[in-house]
Structures are given as structure tokens and as C-alpha cells.
Structure 1
């Protein structure tokens, strides 16, 4: 999916919102009445696009002239507001191809999710919004190629874990400069705690988020970040929540086991309903993912010509409760009745992989899938929140992939605040067992602060887990380039996130060859 149009500098891209008022306003439909004396532009949270199809994409914005208003209204009146949108083939909007109007309602915090159709496949487009006399910044997006189309290449990035209080979103500033076809965000878009940190980036509100108003204000704070806005405006995103988008280490209908072990599941479901609603209000999701109370459709599948099938997983809602304690390779993690994905999602995933005609089969996954022994020597210790705590469910998945002859199986993952490239083994205790795929665990955007090139846990992981081929514990993001013959994952490191304006460089490039499971080469 090589770009048909040169990408704009991110400051030019965001600046076109103001330029459009004088250059391209004539292309917009007749203005609606202005908002009642807004204190500032209602487009303070900028724009985004997501979930691209061959004929369209969803466009997002949220009206919030006072985004941090204490009542979580964003400074908007308690009434419906019409918002115009338009899509063009050029960034100056001289060739507008689609336009329409959506109603931003107070019930959904004046968010807009415009599902645009009738576009051409595999094309770069620019989009913007207008309400009254105010015009939004300009976003750039791209439709997916038509199903089965033979593509020469595709490039996407994946990222996760952006604790506001731990660091600046330096990686997003650099990501916005890449010519990407897609961004996969694998969770922890916000953090729920009342953290202060040491950088002057304390959370708002100051307490942990529980109510809908709490979550709405927290999202506004995060979405005001200019680097995050730039990355959203530069490419279409595909998103899925993880634990901190609701609460740390939650599972199914159960709160985290360490601090609130006896919480009534009904109380937690009410909290999840608030978190899901705010998540939807602030991200470019289609109406098929609009939450209904504590339920939201997260798992879904997108295809990119004949080159890639992307399966987006939900590893939170349907999993069993975390194991409270596990010494060594405890039997409970091998309990075949335990599930990570739930029966419906598991069947959906294996069925889709079996019928896939794409060259590369990609799983967008929240918690790492590879086995990771955390203890040096003969003793063993595994984390219970990742797939290690659901070892039988992982084995079921790997057996299914192997039995169905799924080729070029690649998992991209977030959550762990460190980077690892690993072979996925049918039996992790036997180095000679079949390799079913490759996992690229990606580090955090900011969570954990600056980090180190190598830390003590990384040394243990590499020594105790021979299927791991690369490790780094700094911040950054991952850029994946696909061709019909090869996949390359670049680990882009941002060494300093505790100060703004940090640099970035490629720490390692990991290669997978088409038709050969596992890592072919590591260039670090």
C-alpha cells in the first residue's frame, strides 16, 4: 500500500484546519447556526479515523470547547448539535468526494462517529468537520484495498500503554511522521489511577476513575496531548481496550484480585459500563462497537487485500478470573475449563484463520502469548495476567492453528512495557517442537518512564526462555512492513520520555519469511 500522495508534515496537517476557513470553506454545505458563544473552538480534541474498509472508514471528533470542564460536559450545551463532515482527495479540499451531517448528542458527550462509504479502495483521503463557523483540523486516512487484491506491500504501527503521568508521548510524535497505512492500538489508552507522577503531568481528576464523568474527564486530558492528536490525524487507527481502560487486571465480571477481591460483580459491571461508554465516545469505532451497558463488541476482523488479515482480539471481557497464586508450573493454569477468549470468540478466531486466503494472518492481542519464565535456574514462575495464566487455553489455540495448517501466523501484543520478539512453540518445554508462529511484544509509549536498553528481568527472560530472540525495556513503538515474501518488525525506541522533544531510532529489525514459521533473522 505505497502512498499515492505525499504525507504532510504533522504541523502542516493540523494547521490546515485553520487554513481551510479561508481556502476551502466554500466547499462545505450551508453553515448551521453557530454554537452559543463558545469559549474556544469546539474541536480542541482534534480528529481521528478508524476501522478502514475497502469502500470507507469511520471518522471521529468530539465537540469540547472546554474539554476539562468539571461537569464532564466539555463545555457543550445539553442539546443536539449538527456537525458537518467532508472527505476529499486532496488536503486543500478542492476535490471533495463525500460529505454529510451527524448529530452530536449530550448522551454520547457530543462525540461524532461518521461511517463514510462510497470511497475507492486503497486510497488516501483527507477529512474535516465543521459546526457553525468552526472548522476542525484536517485528518489523513486510507481505505483498505479490495478483498483479494494483490498488494506489493503494507506498513502499520502498533502501540499501547500511555500513562500520562509517567512520560511524554514522544513516540506518537515520531509515528506521525511515518507514512503508515494503519495504526493498531492494543490497549491502556488511559490509566485509571489517581496518579501524580514526577513530571507535572498529574492525572485529572485527581482520584481513581469510577464514574462516567471521571472517565470522560480523563479521556479529555489524554486527548489534549498534541503528539497523540498528530498520530490520530496521520493514519487510520484500529483500537481495542485492555485492563487500565477500565481497571488494572480485571477479568470478565470481576474486579482486580489484589485490592478489591470481594467487590460485587454488579458494582464492577457498572464501572465497566462507564469505562466502555467513555472509550467509545473518544475513539474512532463503528456503531457495531457502540456499548450497551457493560457490553461492547471488541473482537472483529479486517482484511487488507490478499496480503493481510487482522484479527482484533478481546482478552478481557470473556476470560476467567485470574489465578490468585501459582507456585511453579501450577496445575490450575493448565485447567482445560479455563478460557481467555470465551468459546464464541475462540471459535470465531480459529474459523477465520482456517478460511483465510491472506498471506499474513495477524492477531492484534492485548497480553503476551509466549511463555515467560520469570525466575533464573530450576525454579519456575509465571505471570497470571498474560496467557501464561491461561496455559491450557493457549495450548488449545496453538493446537488449532497447527491442525488447520495456518501459515504466517503473527501476533502483535502490548501491555508488558517491554519489547520481545519470540517464536511461538507448540510445546515450550521442547525446543524441537513445531513453531506455530511469531510474537512481537511491543513496549509502552510512556508507561514505566525512560527504561533501560536491558534490565534484570530481560536478562532472566532471555536466559530462561530460548524461544525469545530479542529483548529491550525502553519506550517506543513498533513499525511492521509486510510484503508477499517477508515481514519486518522495526522496534523504534524513544530513549527519553521524561522530557519533551526526545529522539527516536530503530533499535532492532526482526524478519519473518513467508511460508517459514518463526523468526528468520534479528538485526540489532
Structure 2
């Protein structure tokens, strides 16, 4: 039976006293609890000599009566502490029903602490379902930009339509965020970001953006200070800020928020586990500090609960997955290889067995018309071998074929309504049918998958078209592929169909590039395969 309240709503409404909160989540949770409390620091708040809201504002994880609001005080964003004093300061927040912030319906004070690099996460409750709101922060006499957000419809209530964009892979130094400039012009209910929000690589001055950066950005990102700097640099982009301010976001990560192709506690370069977990803890903390996440996701050292579920009336339920933190090491090794015997080991898992169980139970209990799996890496099979053999990229679900089969078989046997997988990571666009047997053209189609193009990663270079293009004919379940255009996928759901528009900008070498709908696909209610629109 479907729960009367979405699981994330239920969690968010639990009240923890200070003692319980500290006991559950340790010292970082303590810093978070201090940040939620009101205090007497406001009267003595230091003057900063510059606006502290250089990184903008954001909202996320919309629930029927609640939203999370975010900002960070950083008058000097390209230094590790943001130019803030090493003390807690009070920040006021306001929620209104009008864009002019005259009709205030909620307000309060949060403490921004140096332990969380003066980031602010406010979980606002008591809002109306399916309602547009506006919000703003104030520090002393300085006001933040005004953000717009929207709550979800009441749990299980009838909903006729939902519109959202899917984004991924936004390497700052590979191009301008022109896709976000165009996204802000859309009429959307939310944005779903599927990972690689930042990249760990060092950044030199110059490049496409022609920026002059401090030398601190040259080394690869490893320490907490450096991860904070990377996030702050990305956040200075005006188009990214505008997209955050315009829509509520639902986010999950992939690998580059920490390190390329890592799996659980195993680094790409096989560093000692203790060394890598220290790096992972730094990366996870910086990720939390810079995104609109709820207390569910307060990091505890190298661990952070990111998988969660959000419902939008009776129309759609999103299962937001984390396929990095809990996965088994690649059974057949890193990179591309022939399918090895270890890949058929049923103990190998992409999402971890606890998350697998959580996902199965959620899908079974869903009463939604559309059931969405928001996740990181290509789920459709992509056989690389052009000579009739089997050769796969092991970092995707092809490296974990038994785990994929468990999931798809469960969807089929439990007759899950309209399952759709949305995916990031690949720097390419794929539209695919997901089948129980990818080798059999007559096999049952279980679900559809949309892999969204990167926002900027790989820039305007021609990289994956020539590489993957020759493989597509021998993978006939892949209905569309493009390897070298940048943009996002816009989805519009109603009670009859899911419409996906593939939106590409002409270039990411300029910030104001025009955009076009390159192709469109539909899924009809009750028919899991994709068709050209």
C-alpha cells in the first residue's frame, strides 16, 4: 500500500532535539544545529565591506508543505573561507507569495557558521502545496538576490502535468553555461541535476572563458579547502546562479564531485583506503555546503545519505539514486574490456543492497502514474565490439549486468507503472528501450531511458560521435544517439504521455548561444517503449 506521506516528507517532519541531533550525526551535525538556531550574533555582526551573496541563492527538494533554501556568505569567494570571519553570524530569511517580497508568509533567522563555510540551509515548513513562492536572505543591510521556488502538490492529489529539465556534467573550464541561460527562459517546475556538478581537475587561467585565476586552482582538488574553492568558482557563474534562483533543484552526484570513476572506498589510482576516505569526506562536506540539501544529507565523515524519494501528486514519483558510494568495485576492472566471469557474480552491486531494497520497496508502493529513476550512468547495454563479440565500458551498468537484471526483472514482474530512467555522466545523448534481454530483438521492453547531454563537458569538441557512432547499429534498442552537442533534455509529463525534447545550444564557447529542439520523443502511458514525437 502506498504511504500516505512521501518518505522524504515524513523524514523532514521528524523533530530532533539538540541532544538527539548531536548523538545521531556527530560534530558536523552539531555545526548544522547551530546554523539552524537563532542567536544573539546579529547585533554584533561584522561589516564585510562587500556583498556576501556572491554565490547566489538556491532552493531544492520540494515537498507539499516544505522547501529547503540555500545561500552562502562569501564576500571574497575565491579564497577558501570566502572572506568571512571565523565566527558564527546571523542571517535572516524571508518567504513571500509575491516577487516584490511584500507579502511575507514565513521568516526566521539562521546562523551561518565557519564549520560549514558560512553556508545556510533553511528547511521552511507550513507552506501550501503546489504554490509558487519567492525568497530572500539578509545579512546586516545587505540583501541577497530574490529566488523563486515552488512546492510539490499534496501527496496523492490529482496532477495533470509536470515539466522539468535534466542536466549533468558542467565542467566550468570547458565552456560557458549557455544551456542554463536558455533553461531560465523555460516554464519548468524543477531541474534535476544528475551529477558531475563540479570536476576535481586543476584549472589554469585562460581557456574558453579567458579567466585569470589564483594559483590555488592549478592543483587537482583533494583537500576540503580546495573542494570549497572549486564549488565556489562554479557558483560564481551568473547563468548557473540564475537557474538556481529560478527553479527548485533536485540533485545527486556522480564521480567527479570526488574523483573520476571512484567506487565506494576505492580510488581511481588505488590510494590507501584511509587516504581516499579522507578525500571523500572533504568532497562530500563541500558538496553539502554548496547545494540545497535537507538534514537527511548532513555528511558524517566520508558518508552522506543522498538517495531519497520525492512525489509530485499522483502523477510522478522520483527515486533519486546514488550509484557511487555503495557500489562494488568494477568486477571486470576499470575502463573497457570483454565481459568477464566476475561480472556474473550476484554479489556485485551498483547501488548497494540496502539501496536496492529501498528502491524495490518504493517502486512496489508507488501509486504514481510515472515512476522515475534519477541516476548517474548508462543503464542500456552498449556493446562496443564491432566484430560480433561482447565488449563493454565497466563503469556503467554494463559492468554490473546481474544487478541491472535484478532491477529490470523486478520492474517487469511487479508491473511497475511507466518506469523511466533519467541518466547523466556520458557527455552524450542516448534514448533507449530497456529490455530484459538486450540481445533478443523480441525481448520485453521494460522501461525507457533518457541520457541527457552535458551542459559543457568536452566543450565544442568532436569526441564521442566518431567513437560511439559505429556501435549504435548493433545496439538496436538505442533509438537515438548524439555524442558531441551540449544542452539538456526538457520533459513534459501528463496523464497520457511523456514528451522529451532534446535541446542543444549551438556552442558553449559563447555565453549567449541560441538553442534549438533537435529531436523529440514520447512514451505513451502504459507503453514503455520510446517513439519519435
What does residue 135 of structure 2 align with? Answer: 127
Match of 2:77 among 63, 67, 83: 67
What does residue 410 of structure 2 align with? Answer: 400
Match of 1:497 among 478, 486, 508: 508
Match of 2:240 among 221, 224, 228: 228
Q: Give CA-to-partner distance per residue, 1:272-326, whole Å, 9 cap, x none.
A: 0000000000000001101010000010000000000000000001101123266
Question: Judging changes above 3 Å, is the alpha-carbon distance between structure 1 residues 109 and 351 closer, same or farther for their aligned structure 2 residues?
Answer: same
Residue 482 of structure 2 is aligned to residue 472 of structure 1: yes
What does residue 445 of structure 1 align with? Answer: 455
Please tell me whether the aligned partners of residues 45 and 223 of structure 1 are also in contact (alpha carbons under 8 angstroms). yes
Instruction: Quote the Cα distance in structure 1 between the aligned partners of 2:182 and 2:386.
Output: 36
What does residue 487 of structure 1 align with? Answer: 498
In the TM superposition, residue 201 of structure 1 has moved relative to its aligned partner by 4.7
Question: Judging changes above 3 Å, is the alpha-carbon distance between structure 1 residues 118 and 385 closer, same or farther for their aligned structure 2 residues?
Answer: same
Residue 364 of structure 2 is aligned to residue 354 of structure 1: yes
What does residue 209 of structure 1 align with? Answer: 221
In the TM superposition, residue 36 of structure 1 has moved relative to its aligned partner by 2.7
What does residue 58 of structure 1 align with? Answer: 68
Q: CA RMSD in A?
A: 1.7
Question: Judging changes above 3 Å, is the alpha-carbon distance between structure 1 residues 264 and 441 closer, same or farther for their aligned structure 2 residues?
Answer: same
Match of 2:253 among 237, 241, 257: 241
Please tell me whether the aligned partners of residues 42 and 89 of structure 2 are also in contact (alpha carbons under 8 angstroms). no
Residue 312 of structure 2 is aligned to residue 304 of structure 1: yes
Q: Give CA-to-partner distance per residue, 1:194-225, whole Å, 9 cap, x none.
A: 14373235775111011100001111100000
Within 5 A, what are the aligned runs for 1:181-200? 181-196=189-204, 198-199=207-208, 200=210
Please tell me whether the aligned partners of residues 84 and 129 of structure 1 are also in contact (alpha carbons under 8 angstroms). yes
Q: Give CA-to-partner distance per residue, 1:461-496, whole Å, 9 cap, x none.
A: 321210000111200011110001100111110120
What does residue 151 of structure 1 align with? Answer: 159
Q: Secondary structure at the match of 2:81?
A: coil
Q: Give CA-to-partner distance per residue, 1:409-463, whole Å, 9 cap, x none.
A: 0000000000010000011111111111000001100001124598223422321
Unmatched 5+ stretches in structure 1: 1-29
Residue 391 of structure 2 is aligned to residue 386 of structure 1: no
Instruction: Quote the Cα distance in structure 1 between the aligned partners of 2:419 and 2:292.
Output: 27
What does residue 513 of structure 1 align with? Answer: 524
Q: Secondary structure at the match of 2:349?
A: coil
What does residue 116 of structure 1 align with? Answer: 124
Within 5 A, what are the aligned runs for 1:266-281? 266-281=274-289
Instruction: Quote the Cα distance in structure 2 between the aligned partners of 1:352 and 1:98.
Output: 32
Please tell me whether the aligned partners of residues 39 and 66 of structure 1 are also in contact (alpha carbons under 8 angstroms). no
Question: Judging changes above 3 Å, is the alpha-carbon distance between structure 1 residues 453 and 510 closer, same or farther for their aligned structure 2 residues?
Answer: farther
Instruction: Quote the Cα distance in structure 2 between the aligned partners of 1:298 and 1:32.
Output: 32
In the TM superposition, residue 35 of structure 1 has moved relative to its aligned partner by 4.4
What does residue 10 of structure 2 align with? Answer: none
What does residue 301 of structure 2 align with? Answer: 293
Instruction: Quote the Cα distance in structure 2 between the aligned partners of 1:227 and 1:295.
Output: 31
Q: Secondary structure at the match of 1:471?
A: strand
What does residue 35 of structure 2 align with? Answer: none
Please tell me whether the aligned partners of residues 41 and 90 of structure 2 are also in contact (alpha carbons under 8 angstroms). no
What does residue 422 of structure 1 align with? Answer: 432
Match of 2:185 among 172, 177, 195: 177
Please tell me whether the aligned partners of residues 45 and 90 of structure 2 are also in contact (alpha carbons under 8 angstroms). no
Residue 66 of structure 2 is aligned to residue 96 of structure 1: no
What does residue 8 of structure 1 align with? Answer: none
TM-score, normalization by structure 1: 0.90
Unmatched 5+ stretches in structure 2: 1-39
Instruction: Quote the Cα distance in structure 2 between the aligned partners of 1:409 and 1:75.
Output: 47
Question: Judging changes above 3 Å, is the alpha-carbon distance between structure 1 residues 84 and 387 closer, same or farther for their aligned structure 2 residues?
Answer: same
Residue 83 of structure 2 is aligned to residue 81 of structure 1: no
Please tell me whether the aligned partners of residues 337 and 393 of structure 2 are also in contact (alpha carbons under 8 angstroms). no
What does residue 19 of structure 1 align with? Answer: none
Within 5 A, what are the aligned runs for 1:361-376? 361-376=371-386
Please tell me whether the aligned partners of residues 378 and 423 of structure 2 are also in contact (alpha carbons under 8 angstroms). yes
Please tell me whether the aligned partners of residues 423 and 468 of structure 1 are also in contact (alpha carbons under 8 angstroms). yes
TM-score, normalization by structure 2: 0.89
Instruction: Quote the Cα distance in structure 1 between the aligned partners of 2:338 and 2:228.
Output: 41
